[in-house]
Structure formats: C-alpha cells, structure tokens
Amino acid sequence: MQNHIVLFILVLAATAIVSFAYAIWRGRKDEQILRSIIQSSPIPMFVISTNHRILHWNRALEGLSGIKSEDVVGTDQQWRAFYKSPRSCLADLILSNKVINSSILYAGQVTKSKVLKDAYEVTEFFPDLGEKGKWFRITSAAIRDSGGKLFGSMETLEDITDQKTAEEELLKRTKLESLGTFADGVAKDFDSLLSAILRNVFLAKISASEEDKILENGLAIAERAGLQAKELAHRLITFAQGGYPVKKLEKLDDLIREAISKALTGSKVVCKPVIAPDLWPAEIDAMQIKQVIENMVANAREAMPEGGVVEVIAENITTGTNIRTLGEGNYVRIVIRDKGIGIPRENLSKIFDPYFTTKEKKGRGGIGLGLAICDSIIKYHNGLISVESVAGAGTSFFIYLAAAVKNGAP
C-alpha cells in the first residue's frame, strides 16, 4: 500500500512538473499552483534540469536533509542531501543515460519501474543520515514534453528504515527459531555423550593410584572441560526450548562480579567494576543474565589478546523516550567497554544476527551464537542491548534492564 501511495505521488508530481514546464512556456498564471504541488508533497523530492542544475528542492527534502532550497537551487549539489562528497545521484544517471553503470555507485540493484516509463528504483542505506543511518527507497524518473524531448529528471525518497528494521528483526527471529530446532537435537545428543564421558572420567579418577599425579591432573582437566561443555549444552537446550526466563527479584551487584570473575579467570585482562552502591534490583532470571554479562565480558577479553582493562559500569538511570525501542521508566544500565580492535561500522547492524561472526574459526572463535543468544535473552526480559564501536579503538555494549522500583525508590 505504501509503495502505491509513493508511486501515485510520483506520478502526480511528474505530471505537475510537465504542466509546470508548459505553464512557463505558455505564460499561464497558474504556475504558482503547480509549484505548490511539488512543494507540498509529503515525499522528499528534487527536480534537476538537463544540465544537472537543481530546479526544485521541496520542503519535505529540506526537513530530511537540513538544507534550504535557496542554498542549492541553481547548483548541481543535489548530492549534499545524502553524501559527504560529490557524486552522481540516480536522477543524474538517468539524464546521462548511465543507469546501466549504477552498480558502481549503489550497493542495491537498480531496477526499472513497473509503473512509470523512464523511471528507475533502488533501495539504499545512507549511513550519514540520522543517528544510525537511514534506509530509503529511491525512485527517479525522466521528465519529457509531449514530443518526447527530455528536459529534466526528478528523484523522490521514501524513508523505509522502520520497515527494514522490522524485516531484519523478523528474519533474525526466523533464524533463531530454525537454529533453536537444530540446537535442541544436537545439544541433547551432546549432553548424553558428555554424561557418558564424565561417568568414565569419574571412574578413572577413583581407580587411579594416589601416586600417579600426572594421570590425576589430566583427569581433573578432562572433568572440568567436560563440565563446561555440559553447561554449554544446557544453555543451548534452554535457548532451543524458547529461552523464556524464570524471573525473580534479584540484586545485581554480586551477580555482575561473579560473571566478570568467571569470564576473566586465567586471562591477562583485568577489570575493576564500578557498581553503584544503591544499584536497583530487577525481576530477572539470574542464570540467564549472568550468562549475558559473562559472554559480553568474554568478548571484551577476546578483543584484547595482549591484555588490558575491561571497564564495567552498573548504574541506575531513568529514561524518557530518547532511547530507541526502550520505554520510559527506571532501568539498570550495565556498560561493558574495551579498548580492543573494535567493530567496523558496516558490521554493527549484523553482530546480533545468528551465525554472524568476524572471529577466526580457531581458538575461542565460534559460529556467532553468543551475541544472538544474549540479544534474545535481554529481549525476553523486555530490555535492550545496544552497541557503539570504533574500528581500532574499542567497543562499548550497553545493557538495559527494567528496575523493580517505583518513582526511583525500591
């Protein structure tokens, strides 16, 4: 439905522009009415002449770009609405008859419109728009007179960021569901095999002579590894069965310290957590939240293989509507920050996807389940995980959990 509305407006605007051109040519007095159609359109749009100079830059595009029409009309700076440096827009490619080369400039596939003649469409992500970038469906069309002579082109932009976010969330949930089905079967088989191995390790331990310290130490190491693997299997089973938390009112300070200690045992990375002395309690599944924090701290540790300091801050905050997807209220915010290798900007939106990973497939590198499970757990707690990162400078994760307080008091 939304696409049809946009196309209708595009057709209306194109008709208005053609009429506008004739109005100028024939000197009609209704020129201002036709100009108003373009200016009043709720869809951001601009119109350029055959020499790529801007003829119209409507109010909706002013609001989107922050650029006033008087600053660009008459120039060839239509790129300023979307990019940091000069480059051709889709409307320019249509005028230059270079749409066939559009793959050089657009990551998405440019397709010919099924509704409009001489029109093309592309879906593109613009990282420099808004706080976290925006997705737009761009439609551009050639403008011709009744004799078919080309005298300009126009471009419209439909903000589809919310739609893309919803699609990505649905895809992520679908992946998690299929992963859960797979993990359930594998984890249960894995758990059964580990139980058999651990039973035999236990029998070997009680059968070994007290003098055979090497064997005793080896069996102890095998037992610890088996128990850790068994714990992982149980986590996967919990995740596969829906991961729904069994919530109880819990204090978070000791839980956070225990998770940090476990994640950094035997590591060159250190952490001195800063925890508010009056940290609010929360209704949580303690085991699941501990797993999330442990996983996050372990990721921070892996980002600093030569050692370093992980910052962990736990504090009380009261939010308004300034944090996207998080309602107003009282929250405990846990910040986990490292000064490691960071995450490239193009990967930030993918790190919570199942199977996505940039780790080497060796050592502690896995198949990318950790953050997907963490994100799932926090969402089941009606919370939020967000991330900020600069490649080569470090990463900060922010975990928000609803506090069990009213009006700032437990």
Question: What percent of the chain is modeled with pLDDT above 90?
Answer: 23
For 300, the token pair is: 């921070």
Parallel, antiparallel or unpaired: strands 308-309 and 269-270: parallel
Q: Does 178 have pLDDT greater than 70?
A: no
Q: What is the pLDDT of residues 339-375, one digit of tens each?
A: 988 888 878 877 887 666 655 443 334 434 578 888 8
3 state SS of 303: coil
For 6, the token pair is: 């946009």
3-state helix, strand and coil shares in percent for the chain, rounded to the nearest 5: 45, 20, 35
Q: What is residue 125's predicted lDDT score, i.e. its pLDDT?
A: 86
- Mean pLDDT to the nearest integer, 186-215: 75
Q: Does 113 have pLDDT greater than 60?
A: yes
Of 166 and 257, the one with more pLDDT: 257
Q: What is residue 82's predicted lDDT score, i.e. its pLDDT?
A: 82
- Comparing 45-49, 105-109, 153-157, 197-201, which segment has the lowest mean pLDDT? 105-109
What is the H or E stretch that residue 221 is in? Answer: helix 213-240
Residue whose C-alpha is closest to residue 45's, from 22, 25, 63, 33: 63
Q: What is the pLDDT of residues 217-226, one digit of tens each?
A: 787 888 777 7
Q: Within 10 Å of residue 406's Cβ, how many Cβ atoms? A: 9
Cα–Cα distances (Å) from 208 to 202, 211, 218, 227, in that order, read: 10, 8, 11, 20
407: Cβ contacts below 8 Å, ≥ 6 apart? none
Residue 2 and residue 169: Cα distance in Å, rounded? 20
Longest dimension (CA), the chain: 108
For 313, the token pair is: 């801050």
Q: What is the pLDDT of residues 134-154, one digit of tens each?
A: 888 888 888 887 778 888 888
- Comparing 85-89, 150-154, 196-200, which segment has the lowest mean pLDDT? 196-200
For 214, the token pair is: 């090497």
Of 63 and 22, the one with more pLDDT: 63
